[in-house]
Amino acid sequence: MDTRVELKICEACGSLFYRDKKHHNTYCAGCEALLKNFPTPETRKLKGRPGRKGKMLAWIHEVEDEGKQ
């Protein structure tokens, strides 16, 4: 039985490894094991600029307080 392999470069550490032609992994076995611990983009919470809710609520309370006086 013939197995065709390719010599590839790991995109994480730069080492050379053999990859079966049928598989399309881009990392060596060592880096692949380490990268399994990282969260996937779907499970990672996106951090960004906080919303403006706090400023708007403060403005509403200020307007309500002025109306009571």
Confidence (pTM): 0.50
Q: Give residue limits of the domains in the chain.
A: 1-40
Cα separation, 27 vs 29, whole angstroms:
7
State yes or no: pLDDT of 65 exceeds 60: yes
- Using the 8-state DSSP alphabet, how is residue 33 labeled? H
What are the pLDDT digits (tens) for 3-24? Answer: 899 999 999 999 999 998 888 8
Q: Which residues are within 8 A (CB) of 9 and not within 5 positions of it... i.e. 6 or more apart?
A: 15, 16
Specify burial of residue 8 (Cβ count, 10 A radius: 0-12, 13-18, 19+): middle
pLDDT of residue 23: 84
Written as one letter, the residue type at 39 is: P
Instruction: Give the tens place of pLDDT for each residue, 33-55.
Output: 998 888 777 766 666 776 666 55
